[in-house]
Structure 1
Amino acid sequence: MAVSAQAQAETLADALTSAYRHSGLLEQNRATLRAADEDVAQAIAALRPVVSWAGDVTRTFGVTGAFRPSTTFVGGIPVTTSQFSAAGSASTTASINVLAQITLFDGGRNRLGIDVAKEAVLATRAGLVSAEQQVMFRAVQAFMEMRRAIETVALRQNNVRVIRQELRAARDRFEVGEVTRTDVSLADARLSAARSALAAAEGQLQIAIEEYRAAIGRKPGKLVAPRGLPRLPANVENAKAIALRNHPEMVRAQRLVAANELGIALAEAAVSPTVTLDGRYGITENIGARGYNRGGSIGLNASGPIYSGGALNSAVRQARAERDAARGSLHTARHDIAQAVGNAYAQLRVASASRDAFEDQVRASTVAFRGVREEAKLGARTTLDVLDAEQELLDARASLVSAQVDEMIAGYAVLFTLGQLTADDLGLDVPRYDPAEYYNLVKDAPAKLSKQGRELDRVLRAIGKD
């Protein structure tokens, strides 16, 4: 159908490689990680001097008016009168100032903020690995479900051909009086049912194609079945130990606990005083006049809380509660991961046992179908017997295909629960994304015009995020 027989052979590794390159989820989480890296840069920048400037041009204008009394003598008699006078004034001044400030002491809040940001970066990196695992596992499922759909359609098409042949044979035998019309009707009914099942299988194939396109980024080619299961730990206990040590969700939960531990110290440090050194230098000039003023100031400032209405104590209690919540999440993650490993191994054992059983069933059903068909030619079996035997063989083959697919998915599900379903662990030929590269460029909060800043611009242009 939709998969051309002339298409290029495509292995599971090819599909995983395409999924890795295509995934928008990975791009999203990589951007989230870069944003977390910038939190470290901003925390480091808080320890450095902040230099800024401010300037203004001010035009001042106005009119001043007043009544001035004056006395005159009329006929020797003094007469006092008031005269109003007004005077206008205007001036323009311009000033520019350079301001600098540095924090000398803050009780360690800025240092703790850097440590919290670093732990958040490590937790986000673990989240990126989890996202990569999700992408890889979805690709495995899409590839294997595509194979299931293709094989099922092929079986259903073959079933229609076989039943059509049986129907033709039943009609020929009816013409010579060897069977009744009932036999013909039974074959005709089975053909209609087979066509219906074929239509359903073709619909599932179209659904599988759409999922393949979404997970892997392109239409499927001619899929090549994997040669075998991936290499897995020998027993469940070893697998659980590996998962609890390496699974990205476990690492992420541990880093969040560490960050929340630091958050308590950060909240407690809020009661400490803050000491800053301020510097200012400026020029003010009266435009149009010959006056100006140049000068500056240096000041040592200290401030700290005396009473905050209980807000600071509340913040400490809140930080402790968040730490306890993170510890609870770590405890839950430990049990969930161990359970997931155990479940995955159980499902793998079930799938393997089912595959062995269905292989035996296919062999037995094949022998039975061939025998019933030969006996029917000799008149020892009815058309219904042949159709039933053919249906049992079809069901056995379909069940075997599904068991093979389920076994392969279960094998990769074990890798998923171990935290080893990544491009590195699978050895995929893909360009590796180094999460430390961007961090190393921004961790020191480089200035845009510095050598490191120019290197950062080059990296951003290379990934198309400038």
Structure 2
Amino acid sequence: MMDQKAAPARRGLASKLKTLLAGAVCAAAVALPSGAWAESLGQALADAYRNSGLLEQNRLVLKAADEDAAQALAALRPVLAWSTSARHQYGDFSGSANSASIGLNLTHTLYDFGVGKLSVEAAKETVLVTRQQLLSIEQQILLRAVSSYMEVRRALQTVQLRRANVRLLSQELQAAQDRFDVGEVTRTDVSQAEAALAAARAGLTSAEGSLIQAQLEYEAAVGRKPGDLAPPARLGKVPASVTEAVNIALQNHPAMDVARRQVTLAELTLAQADAVVKPSLDLTAGYQLNRDLDGDFTAKGGSIGLSMSGPIYSGGAVASGRRQAVIRRDAQLANLRVVSSDVQLSVGNAFSAVQIARSASAASAEQVRAAEVAFDGVREEASLGSRTTLDVLTQEQALLDARVSYLSAQVDEVLARYSLLSTMGLLTAENLGLAVEIYDPAAYYNMVKNAPAAISAQGRKLDSALRAIGKE
């Protein structure tokens, strides 16, 4: 008689659970809107590229390096300077006298056995190193944006799953209470449902906190608050083998180019150390006008001369400098090997992470399918009285865990793919085809490479451009 009374309640419970389960599945599948107004990963990356203060800072560092190259070139040119002076002489025997003078002086190094040209080449190489370092910063900015984008998606989907879980367990608790009222279950079943619901609410609170943190990180990485984030449309092509990925990285990664150019810089420094012992030939010229302010006497005169100088003994400083240059060159060669090894290791790890994440995603999808079938079975068996409330709660938790694992596996696969692009040196705005104006690192260098003077037309144009930059 009791079972006959409880049967309608069990059937009603089964219908409610089925509806809630369908809602939970829908939340997992479309946790974030992906319609026409959803924000794409490409848009987020483009905004991160445009809004990054760190990128702007390092672009200015590059401009400063460009100016170093201009100054190295200017050092090869003649230097023309003016001077003026006024003098008052007095004494017990000679009385007093007043005079003034004005003059022009020119100095120019005619020949220094290539020391100046080596300085220019070293400055240019430093510019190229700084450009590659800027690319490294760009990759870091974009990878952080990818990570923050996917973490917001992960956190929001987890929140929605846990909300569905709370609703489902609320129904479970009500059903357990109804069955207790008709004497079908004991108070223990009700308490188990209450404990499961309390744990689900705690999990929801934790997930909501994680979502707030992910949104704050997104705002810091992208430069604005997140909107409705769509699933990433393009995951990027993964090389067929780790060997192919390593070869691409050794050719393209900014760290490799920086290490190679630092070796070149060290060799230029060594060449400069060798050239220090060589003499230099200098031209000096001057013209001066002197006038006696107490009379009409005026004297004009000029001079021109050549001088050659070079070190004979420097207390061992020159020899020490050369030994130091050799050591630093060898250190940079060793660093090149270390960087090459690190890049290969990073690519290998990232490539493996993609494979692992891909397999984990497929396995998690299968886990969700099996957990759904198991939950359906346990739920039906419970409605017939052959399963306890605890069995249903346990299987429902297993299904939730499977769905959360599946969502995380999908996020991890996207992050692994973009991390692999980063280790290969391909995570740049240009390679990704972002809808932004790509920064041209050579533009400023081309304006200053000839070291224009402030009074020249090119110099005035450059000053105007700098003022415009400062107003941005």
Fold match (TM-score > 0.5) = yes
**Match for residue 86 of structure 2?**
57
Task: Give the AA of the match of 1:52.
Answer: A
Partner Cα distance (2:470, 2:37) in 1 = 31
Q: 1:403 to 1:149 in 2, by over 3 A?
A: same
Choose the corresponding residue for 1:237, options 228, 237, 243. 243
Q: Please list, as runs of the form range in 1=range in 2, the aligned pairs for 1:311-460 lying within 5 A after superposition.
A: 311-460=317-466
Runs of 4+ in 1 over 4 A off after TM superposition: 3-8
Partner Cα distance (2:288, 2:96) in 1 = 23
Q: Please list, as runs of the form range in 1=range in 2, the aligned pairs for 1:106-117 lying within 5 A after superposition.
A: 106-117=112-123
Choose the corresponding residue for 2:47, options 15, 18, 21. 18
Any conservation in 1 of the 2:32–2:230 contact (CA below 8 Å)? no
**Match for residue 264 of structure 1?**
270
**What is the deviation of 1:465?**
7.3
Partner Cα distance (2:465, 2:242) in 1 = 43
Q: Are residues 1:46 and 2:75 paired?
A: yes
Task: Give the AA of the match of 1:191.
Answer: L
Choose the corresponding residue for 2:65, options 32, 36, 61. 36
Percent of matched pairs sharing the same residue = 54
For the residue of structure 1 that corresponds to 2:276, the secondary structure is helix
Any conservation in 2 of the 1:60–1:91 contact (CA below 8 Å)? yes
Structure number, greater radius of gyration = 1
**What is the deviation of 1:8?**
4.6
For the residue of structure 2 that corresponds to 1:388, the secondary structure is helix
**Match for residue 463 of structure 1?**
469
Any conservation in 2 of the 1:7–1:222 contact (CA below 8 Å)? no
Task: Give the AA of the match of 2:214.
Answer: A
Deviation string, structure 1 residues 24-70 (Cα, Å, up to 9, x no partner):
11112111111111111111111100011111112223334xxxxxx
Deviation string, structure 1 residues 229-263 (Cα, Å, up to 9, x no partner):
21122211111111111111101111111111111
5+ long unaligned stretches in structure 2 = 1-30
Any conservation in 2 of the 1:170–1:183 contact (CA below 8 Å)? yes
Task: Give the AA of the match of 2:442.
Answer: A
**What is the deviation of 1:457?**
2.1
**What is the deviation of 1:286?**
1.4
**What is the deviation of 1:4?**
10
Q: Please list, as runs of the form range in 1=range in 2, the aligned pairs for 1:25-174 lying within 5 A after superposition.
A: 25-64=54-93, 89-174=95-180
Partner Cα distance (1:52, 1:257) in 2 = 38
Q: Are residues 1:179 and 2:195 paired?
A: no
Partner Cα distance (1:228, 1:34) in 2 = 34
Task: Give the AA of the match of 1:447.
Answer: A
Deviation string, structure 1 residues 144-203 (Cα, Å, up to 9, x no partner):
111111111111111111111100111111111111000000000011111111111111
Any conservation in 1 of the 2:32–2:229 contact (CA below 8 Å)? no
**What is the deviation of 1:103?**
0.2
- Give the TM-score of the pair, scaled to structure 2: 0.91
Task: Give the AA of the match of 1:197.
Answer: G
Partner Cα distance (1:340, 1:40) in 2 = 34
For the residue of structure 2 that corresponds to 1:47, the secondary structure is coil
Partner Cα distance (2:451, 2:65) in 1 = 13
Task: Give the AA of the match of 2:389.
Answer: T
For the residue of structure 2 that corresponds to 1:60, the secondary structure is strand
For the residue of structure 1 that corresponds to 2:121, the secondary structure is helix
Report which stretch shifted further, 346-355 or 282-291. 282-291
**What is the deviation of 1:461?**
2.9
**What is the deviation of 1:458?**
3.3
**Match for residue 315 of structure 2?**
309
**What is the deviation of 1:292?**
1.6
For the residue of structure 1 that corresponds to 2:299, the secondary structure is strand
For the residue of structure 2 that corresponds to 1:222, the secondary structure is coil
Any conservation in 1 of the 2:375–2:399 contact (CA below 8 Å)? yes
Partner Cα distance (1:463, 1:240) in 2 = 39
Q: 1:465 to 1:50 in 2, by over 3 A?
A: farther
More helix by share: 2
Choose the corresponding residue for 1:219, options 197, 217, 225. 225
Partner Cα distance (2:129, 2:234) in 1 = 34
Say what the alpha-carbon RMSD is for the aligned residues: 1.7
- Give the TM-score of the pair, scaled to structure 1: 0.92
Task: Give the AA of the match of 1:41.
Answer: A
For the residue of structure 2 that corresponds to 1:464, the secondary structure is helix
5+ long unaligned stretches in structure 1 = 65-87
Deviation string, structure 1 residues 388-423 (Cα, Å, up to 9, x no partner):
111000000000010000000000011001100000
Partner Cα distance (1:455, 1:122) in 2 = 24
Any conservation in 2 of the 1:146–1:208 contact (CA below 8 Å)? yes
